[in-house]
Amino acid sequence: MNPRRLCLLFAACLPVIPAGAMDSPPPPPIAGQSSSAISPKEGSVPAAELLALAGAAEKELRGNVLPFWLKYTRNRDNGGFYGLIDQDMKIRKGTPRGALLTSRILWTFSAAYRRYHDPEYLEMARWAYRDLMDHFRDRENGGLFWSITADGKPDETFKQVYGQAFGIYALAEYYRATNAQPALEEAIAIYRLLEQHAYDGRQGGYFDALDRKWQRMGSNLLGRAPKSQNSHIHVLEAFTNLMRVWPDAGLRVRQQELFELMLTRIIDPRTHHLVLFMKDDWTPVGEDYSYGHDIELSWLIVEAAEVLGDPAALARAKTVGVAIARVTATEGVDPDGGVVSEGNARGITNGNKEWWDQAEAAVGFLNAYQISRDPKYYAAAQHSWDFIQTKFVDRKNGDWFNLLKRDGTPLPLPKVSVWKCPYHNGRACLELIERLESLAGAPATH
């Protein structure tokens, strides 16, 4: 059967969430959890207040986050980046490094250049693009290796869909910033490899883990099941960005299907939490929540619907986006404004606070305010930002701390690693600036 027809038939068979299902009241707060982050305040938010927060985000981005990565992370000896920089800023030169870090640096500085046209940002984006293409590209089988050795040889050569998605996301952004045609062609090539090898033609969605030759693997770097919300969030995000520069009909069909999967298989309509892991047939595995992923998807799904250009899809995405934000603020935010990592129906299971969770919360809550105009969501976004500035910004070395204990004490984890990057906090600042300026009616500056 024609793959496109199969996709349409599969999407048509998915259960549709009834109108109003997402409007049901949220579950009551779990004992011991705080709802202080969503205390409402009267009236709409004044433009001056919106622009003040936008200015603070721009100062953080251009005065702290981007300068840190420009100053400390490039390895001038091999044309790439250091794979590990400790919390005390000691560079571990022999450490293997991942395509994920390079892709995220590429996205961040491409996006920053697209807004500010700073040649220093363009130079960094080009540096990352060359690194990704010269060192991580599998010239024999296509796609990106997960990691390479410090001297540039293939190390972990499997094809994790999560990593491929970030390659697409970053390459599409680099094309948006520079019109470099080879970057777009590589993004399309990786997309087609995912469609050929990682797409589940029977149940829909994507398998997480494949080997170097694109055969399914029994183990999965991300967890204990063949499918995950984590991969699907970032495939959605990647396809959204690719659609902006390559409005291919087949890509649109697949994105529409992925959008439906998010609403009917990955977001639990009863709780407005994401199912973390799934079997091939979407049967949930485990019962934990990830508050950071919840709030991240709350705005990414709205962005996806906007790019799809489907008014009905956008209305559904906005409804579920606000519902997720409401539950995250009620269950997953401490009185200090920090988002905890994980929980389940019985309470918080991991009270640590990661840097990326906070970044996504600031954007997710602001997105809920843009949709609803309910000031309590703006207050939640401001609360997240204040917590970041008070607890996460590293005033000594720059950028943000990696992880805090629940009481706000930093844990000794790397400042730079495969996972610790400028993408979440850099993107949060860019999103806050653009959204806040739009809300305030400020003229576009990019």
**Confidence (pLDDT) at 442:** 73
Judged against a pLDDT cut of 60, whether residue 27 lies above it is answered with no
Query: Does 392 map to a domain?
Result: yes
Digit-coded pLDDT (tens) for 103-162: 999 999 999 999 999 999 999 999 999 999 999 999 999 999 999 999 999 999 999 999
Element containing residue 284 per DSSP (H, E): strand 284-285
Which H or E element spans position 148? strand 147-148
Q: Which residues lie across from 344 on neighbouring strands?
A: 347
DSSP 143: S
DSSP annotation string for 213-252: TS-B-S--TT-SSSEEHHHHHHHHHHHHHHHHH---HHHH
Task: Answer whether residue 279 is part of any domain.
Answer: yes
Q: Is 401 inside a domain boundary? A: yes
Do the domain assignments include residue 446? Answer: no
Mean pLDDT within 257-274: 97
Q: What is the mean pLDDT of the chain?
A: 91
Look at residue 58 and tell me if it is in a domain.
Answer: yes
Rounded CA-CA distance 386/137 in Å is: 40
Residue-level pLDDT at 20:
34
Q: Is residue 260 scored above 70 in pLDDT?
A: yes
- pLDDT tens string 336-365: 999 999 999 999 999 999 999 999 999 999
Query: Residue 25: pLDDT above 60?
Result: no
At 445 the pLDDT is 54
Which tokens in the block code for residue 356?
């990326």
Amino acid at residue number 391: K
Determine contact, residues 392/401, Cβ cutoff 8 Å. yes
Mean pLDDT of 4-13: 31
As a whole number, mean pLDDT of residues 359-385 equals 98
Q: What pLDDT is stored for residue 78 in this prediction?
A: 85
Q: Write down the pLDDT at residue 43.
A: 59
Give the separation between CA 52 and CA 101, rounded to whole angstroms: 31
Q: How many residues does the chain have?
A: 446
* pTM across the whole model: 0.90
Is 121 inside any structural domain? yes
What are the residues whose beta carbons fall under 8 Å from the beta carbon of 443, sequence distance 6 or more?
none
Q: For residue 192, is it within any domain? A: yes
C-alpha dihedral sign at 216, 221, 227, 230: negative
Residue 27's domain comprises 3-440
The answer to whether 89 and 72 are in contact (CB under 8 A) is yes
Q: Residues 6 or more apart from 220 whose CB is under 8 A from it?
A: 208, 209, 226, 228
pLDDT tens track for 208-231: 999 999 999 989 999 989 999 999
Cα–Cα distances in angstroms (integers) from residue 63 to residues 68, 69, 287, 357, 403, in the given order: 9, 11, 41, 21, 21
Q: In angstroms, how far is CA 235 from the centroid of its own chain? A: 10
* Percent over 70 (pLDDT), the chain: 90
CA 84, CA 97: separation in Å to the nearest integer?
A: 8
Longest Cα–Cα distance of the chain, Å, equals 61
In three-state secondary structure terms, 211 is coil
Position 319 confidence tier, pLDDT thresholds 50, 70, 90: very high
Answer for the pair 177, 110: CB distance below 8 angstroms, yes or no.
yes
pLDDT digits (tens, 9 = 90+) for 39-55: 444 458 999 999 999 99
Judged against a pLDDT cut of 60, whether residue 236 lies above it is answered with yes
What three-state secondary structure class fits 208? coil
Coil, helix or strand at residue 91: strand
State whether residue 338 is helix, strand or coil: coil
Asked if 235 and 161 touch (Cβ cutoff 8 Å), the reply is yes
Number of domains in the chain: 1
Residue 63: CATH number of its domain? 1.50.10.10
CA distance from start to end of the chain: 45
- How many CB atoms neighbour CB 237 within 10 A? 21
Residue 445 within a domain? no
In the prediction, which pLDDT does 284 show?
Answer: 97
Q: Which residues of 133-144 are buried (b: 16+ CB within 10 A; e: fewer)?
A: bebbbbeeebbb
A 10 A CB-CB count for 324 gives: 28
Instruction: Please write the tens of the pLDDT for every residue from 162-212.
Output: 999 999 999 999 999 999 999 999 999 999 999 999 999 999 999 999 999
* Average confidence (pLDDT) over 93-112: 97
Alpha-helix residue ranges (DSSP H) falling in 46-194 = 47-60, 66-72, 99-116, 119-131, 161-178, 181-193
- What angle do helix axes 423-440 and 47-60 make, rounded to 10 degrees? 160
